[in-house]
C-alpha cells in the first residue's frame, strides 16, 4: 500500500506502510503503529508506556512460552521441560541440563541429562557432583543402586550373599569376606568387637569366635552330619581318638583311653585301648588301662597273696590229715600191739617132739626154723 498515513481507526505497519483496522497476528500496537512481535510470537503486547518490553501472549505452533520469560521457544531447550497441561516451559531442577518433569525434591529431580561435571542416578534421575550414599559409579558415569542393605558399595550386588558393600546401613553388620550387610549374626559367622561378621571354621554352622586351629574351632553348632566335641567345641565327621559319641555330641573318654565304649563308671574305664602303651597296660577283661608301675605292684601283691593262700591250704590239709590219723588210731587197733601171742603146740616129727615157734613179723630180722 505504501501509505503515508492511515485513516482514523486504522493502524499502519511500519515496515510495509500498510494500514489495518485491527491488530493482526505477529504484530502489536505501539502508538497506533503495528510493530512486529518477537520471533515465534503469534500475538504479543507492549507491557506499558514506561516499559517498552514485549510480552508474547500466544506462541506460534510448536513454540511455547517460558514461565520466566515473555518469549516463545521450542520444547527442546536446556533446563526446561514442557508442562503439557498448560503448554508452558517450566524450570527443571538446577542440576539438570534436561528434564522431563518437575523435580519432586532434591532426591527425585527427574533429570534426563545433568549439568556439566555432574553424574545422574539410574533410578531417581537426579544429578550430583559426587557418589552419594547407596550408589556406586559405573563405567558409563551413571550412579547405580547398591544393595538396599549397603550405605556405600563398590559395585552391583551379585546376589543377597555377595552385596559388595563398603559400609552398611544403620544397625547392620558387614561380613569380612563377601562384603554383605545383615541385621543379625548369620550362620557360619561370629561378630567381633568391631561389629564385623567374621567367618567361623568351615565345619561350624554357628561359632563363638575365630578358630584357634583345626582342633579348637570354637563351634556352637556343627554343619549337617558333623559331631561337636563337648570340650574343644570342634566339629568332626568321624569319632576322633579319646572320644565317644553321645547322640551328636563327642564326649571325652577317660584320660588314659585311646578309644572307649562310653563314660567311665565305678567299675571300668570303658577303654578300647590305651593312649600310651609305653606307660599303660590294657586289661581287656575289665576295659581298664593300668599304669605299668601299678600293674607290677599288683602283680607282686597277687603273688604274695597266692603264696600265702597256698601255705594256708597246706596247713589246713596237714591238720585235716592229722585229725583223720587220730580218728583212725582211736577206732582201730594198730597191727603188732595188744594182740595175743600164739600158743605153742608140740609138733611131732620122726618120733621127736618139737616146739613150733610162731613166726613174728619183723622188719629187720627173719627167723629161720632150720637153725
Q: Is the pLDDT of residue 39 over 90?
A: no
Report the candidate in 296, 303, 259 with the shortest Cα–Cα distance to residue 281. 296
The Cα 69–Cα 80 span in angstroms is 12
> What is the predicted pLDDT for the residue at 307?
60
pLDDT band, residue 324 (cuts 50/70/90): confident
Q: How many CB atoms lie within 10 A of CB 256?
A: 21
With 80 as the cut, is the pLDDT of residue 343 above it? no
C-alpha cell at 238: 568321624
Average pLDDT over residues 100-119: 93
Q: What is the mean pLDDT of the chain?
A: 84
pLDDT tier, 357 (very low <50, low <70, confident <90, very high otherwise): very low
**Total H helices, total E strands in the chain:** 1, 34
What are φ and ψ of residue 307, in 5° steps?
Answer: -60, -45
Q: Is the pLDDT of residue 154 over 50?
A: yes
- 217's CB contacts (< 8 A; 6+ apart) are 200, 201, 203, 204, 207, 211, 232, 233, 234, 235
Predicted local distance difference test score (pLDDT) of residue 320 = 87
Give pLDDT, residue 304: 54
Q: What is the mean pLDDT of residues 196-211?
A: 96
Q: In the chain, helix, strand, coil percent, each to 5?
A: 10, 35, 55
Residue 170 has pLDDT above 50, yes or no: yes
pLDDT band for position 308 (cuts 50, 70, 90): low
Angle at 77 between CA 72 and CA 82, to 5 degrees: 70
Pairing of strands 280-283, 271-274: unpaired
Place of cell 550386588: 157
Flag the least confident range among 14-23, 198-207, 214-223.
14-23
For the chain, the C-alpha Rg in angstroms (whole number) is: 63
Kindly tell me if the per-residue pLDDT of 56 is higher than 80.
Answer: yes
Q: What is the pLDDT of residue 249?
A: 95
Q: From 130, 164, 133, 126, select the one nearest 147 (Cα to Cα).
A: 164
Could you tell me which of 81, 106, 83, 84 has the C-alpha nearest to residue 95? 106
Q: Residue 276 corresponds to which cell in the numbers above?
A: 600310651
> Would the pLDDT of 354 be above 70?
no
- Write down the pTM of the prediction: 0.60
Identify the residue with better confidence: 146 or 314. Answer: 146
Joined grid coordinates for residue 156: 552391583
**Between residues 339 and 60, which one has the greater pLDDT?**
60
Cα distance from N-terminal residue to C-terminal residue, the chain: 218
Q: Where are the alpha helices (DSSP H) in the chain?
A: 292-331
Please name the residue ranges forming H helices in 37-179. none
219 exposure class (CB count in 10 Å sphere: 0-12, 13-18, 19+) = buried
Amino acid at each position: 500500500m505504501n501509505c503515508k498515513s492511515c485513516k482514523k481507526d486504522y493502524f499502519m505497519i511500519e515496515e510495509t506502510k500498510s494500514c489495518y483496522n485491527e491488530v493482526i497476528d505477529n504484530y502489536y500496537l505501539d502508538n497506533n503503529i503495528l510493530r512486529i512481535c518477537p520471533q515465534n510470537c503469534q500475538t504479543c503486547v507492549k507491557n506499558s508506556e514506561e516499559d517498552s518490553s514485549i510480552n508474547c501472549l500466544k506462541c506460534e505452533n510448536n513454540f511455547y512460552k517460558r514461565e520466566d520469560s515473555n518469549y516463545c521457544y521450542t520444547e527442546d531447550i536446556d533446563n526446561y521441560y514442557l508442562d503439557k497441561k498448560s503448554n508452558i516451559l517450566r524450570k527443571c531442577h538446577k542440576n539438570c541440563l534436561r528434564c522431563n518433569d518437575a523435580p519432586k525434591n532434591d532426591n527425585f529431580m527427574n533429570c534426563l541429562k545433568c549439568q556439566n561435571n555432574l553424574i545422574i542416578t539410574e533410578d531417581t534421575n537426579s544429578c550430583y557432583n559426587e557418589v552419594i550414599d547407596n550408589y556406586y559409579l559405573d563405567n558409563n558415569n551413571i550412579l547405580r543402586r547398591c544393595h538396599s542393605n549397603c550405605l556405600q558399595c563398590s559395585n552391583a550386588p551379585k546376589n543377597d550373599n555377595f552385596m559388595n558393600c563398603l559400609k552398611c546401613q544403620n544397625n547392620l553388620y558387614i561380613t569380612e569376606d563377601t562384603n554383605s550387610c545383615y541385621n543379625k549374626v548369620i550362620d557360619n559367622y561370629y561378630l567381633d568387637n568391631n561389629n564385623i561378621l567374621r567367618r567361623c571354621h568351615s565345619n561350624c554352622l554357628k561359632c563363638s569366635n575365630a578358630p584357634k586351629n583345626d582342633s579348637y574351632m570354637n563351634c556352637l553348632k556343627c554343619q549337617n552330619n558333623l559331631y561337636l566335641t563337648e570340650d574343644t567345641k570342634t566339629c568332626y565327621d568321624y569319632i576322633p581318638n579319646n572320644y565317644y559319641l553321645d547322640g551328636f555330641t563327642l564326649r571325652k573318654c577317660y584320660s588314659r583311653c585311646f578309644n572307649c565304649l562310653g563314660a567311665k563308671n565305678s567299675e571300668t574305664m570303658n577303654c578300647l585301648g590305651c593312649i600310651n602303651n609305653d606307660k599303660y597296660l590294657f586289661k581287656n577283661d575289665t576295659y581298664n588301662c593300668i599304669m605299668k608301675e601299678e600293674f607290677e605292684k599288683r602283680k607282686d601283691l597277687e603273688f604274695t597273696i597266692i603264696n600265702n593262700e597256698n601255705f594256708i591250704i597246706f596247713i589246713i590239709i596237714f591238720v585235716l590229715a592229722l585229725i583223720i590219723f587220730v580218728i583212725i588210731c582211736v577206732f582201730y587197733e594198730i597191727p603188732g600191739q595188744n594182740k595175743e601171742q600164739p600158743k605153742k603146740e608140740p609138733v611131732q616129727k620122726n618120733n621127736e617132739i618139737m616146739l613150733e615157734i610162731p613166726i613174728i613179723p619183723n622188719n629187720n630180722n627173719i627167723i629161720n626154723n632150720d637153725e
